[in-house]
Structure 1
């Protein structure tokens, strides 16, 4: 699967069921399978504007590349 096809698939997943998409990413990244814990983490993610799924260092890298 090439990049653009993968990106489109991910975007479709996000649009179809955002909560499941986010909790699946958290589950994979943190190796958590407890649905109750994942639901709590999703709610915290949704309630805190400053919380990001991706590491903040990506923003720093983007700034360096954009200069």
Structure 2
């Protein structure tokens, strides 16, 4: 299992979410992370999902 950090922002810079999510792999993080982003209703907000090394897994402006 790997930890990934999810962060979502308003255009003003206000942080909406700053959470650690755990997935089995980067590939699963891409799919399951996108589902969680949609469930939170922030798919159109600026957001990112990075692995523990800081590599971008998902990103949206």
Normalized against structure 1, the TM-score is what?
A: 0.25
Structure number with higher helix proportion: 1
Higher RCO (CA 8 Å, separation ≥ 6 residues): 2
Structure number with higher strand proportion: 2
Normalized against structure 2, the TM-score is what?
A: 0.27
